[in-house]
C-alpha cells in the first residue's frame, strides 16, 4: 500500500552530506516529495526533513539505508496519515492583483492567516505558513486571480509531545 512518511534525520554538518542523502534516494530509485535542511541548536548537526511516498518495503529500506549512512546520527519517521505531527511549510505566492482586486486578496490572506509580503502596481506576494491542506486551500482561492510565481520551502515537521523527540544534545557535546 502506498503511504507517505515524514523522516527527520540528524546529520553531520559537513559538506557532501546532502549529496549523500540525495544520492541514496536516486541510486535506489526512491522518490523524494520534499526535502528541507537547516541547522539545529548545535552547529555541528543539521536536521533534514524528508517526505517520502512509498509502500512499506520502500519506506523500510529508506529508513535502514538512511541509518546506514555514517554521517547520519539519528533517523525517525512517522506516517503522515496516522501520527500526530506538526507539519508546516512556508509558501510565497505572487498573484496578479489590479488595484481593485487588492481588497479581495487581503481578505483571502486573512482567512488563512497569511501575510501580504509585497504590493506592486500589478501584483502582490502572499506569504503563508501552514499544513499541506491549508496551503493547498490558499492556492486554490488565489488561482482565479492568476498566480504568477510560487515558491515553497518544503516541509518541516515535529512530533507532538516529548516521547518521540530526537535529542539533538545527545549526539553533541
Partner 1 sequence: MANESATKMKPKAKKKKENGKPGVDKRGAEIVIDALEQEGVEVVFGYPGGAIIDVFDLINQSDKFQFILTRHEQGAIHMAEGYARATGKVGVVLVTSGPGATNTVTGLADAMMDSTPVVVISGQVPTALIGNDAFQEADVVGITRSVTKHNYLVKTLEELPILLKNTFHIARSGRQGPVVIDIPKDIQKHTLVNYAYPDKPELPGYHIQMHAPLEKVEQAWKLIHSAKRPLIYAGGGVINADAADELFLFATKANIPVTTTLMGLGAFPETHPLSLLMLGMHGTVYANKAVQNCDVLIAVGSRFDDRVTGKLEEFAPHAKIIHMDIDPSSISKNVKVDVDLVGDVKCILRDLNPFVERCDTEAWLPQLDEWKRQYPLRFVLPDNDLILPQHLIQLIDELADDNAIITSEVGQHQMWAAQYYTFTRPRTWITSGGLGTMGFGFPAALGAQRAFPGRQVINVAGDGSIQMNIQELATAMYYNLPVKNIISNNGWLGMVRQWQDMFYGKNYSATNLTLPARGAALSDASASDWMNAEYLPNFAKLAEAYGCWGRKVTKRGELKDAIRECLAGDQPALLDVWVAREENVYPMVPAGASLNQMIEGMA
Contacts to partner 1 by CB under 8 A = 10-12, 15-16, 19-20, 23, 27, 44, 57, 60-61, 64-65, 67-74, 170-173
CB of 157 to partner 1, least distance (A): 21
CB of 16 to partner 1, least distance (A): 6
DSSP string, 108-157: HHHHTT-EEEEE-SSEEEEEEEE-HHHHHHHHHHHGGG-EEEEEEEEEEE
Euclidean distance between CA atoms 115 and 120, whole angstroms: 15
Strand spans (E) along 1-122? 3-12, 34-39, 45-54, 72-79, 85-96, 115-119
Phi, psi of 31 (to 5 degrees): -90, 150
Cβ proximity to partner 1, 12 vs 127, nearer residue: 12
CB of 21 to partner 1, least distance (A): 11
Cβ proximity to partner 1, 61 vs 153, nearer residue: 61
Q: Could you tell me which of 100, 132, 105 has the C-alpha nearest to residue 118?
A: 105
CB of 36 to partner 1, least distance (A): 20
Cβ proximity to partner 1, 61 vs 101, nearer residue: 61
Amino acid at each position: 500500500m502506498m503511504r507517505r512518511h515524514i523522516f527527520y534525520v540528524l546529520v553531520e554538518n559537513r559538506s557532501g552530506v546532502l549529496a549523500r542523502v540525495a544520492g541514496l534516494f536516486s541510486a535506489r530509485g526512491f522518490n523524494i516529495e520534499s526535502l528541507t535542511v537547516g541547522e539545529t541548536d548545535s552547529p555541528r548537526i543539521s536536521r533534514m526533513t524528508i517526505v517520502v511516498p512509498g509502500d512499506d518495503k520502500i519506506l523500510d529500506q529508506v529508513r535502514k539505508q538512511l541509518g546506514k549512512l555514517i554521517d547520519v546520527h539519528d533517523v525517525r519517521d512517522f506516517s503522515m496519515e496516522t501520527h500526530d505531527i506538526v507539519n508546516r511549510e512556508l509558501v510565497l505566492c505572487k498573484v496578479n492583483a489590479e488595484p481593485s482586486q487588492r481588497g479581495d486578496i487581503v481578505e483571502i490572506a486573512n482567512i488563512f492567516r497569511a501575510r501580504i509580503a509585497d504590493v506592486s502596481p500589478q501584483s502582490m506576494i502572499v506569504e503563508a505558513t501552514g499544513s499541506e491542506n491549508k496551503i493547498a486551500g490558499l492556492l486554490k482561492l488565489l488561482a482565479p486571480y492568476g498566480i504568477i510565481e510560487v515558491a515553497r520551502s518544503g516541509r518541516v515537521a515535529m512530533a507532538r509531545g516529548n516521547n518521540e523527540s530526537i535529542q539533538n544534545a545527545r549526539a553533541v557535546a
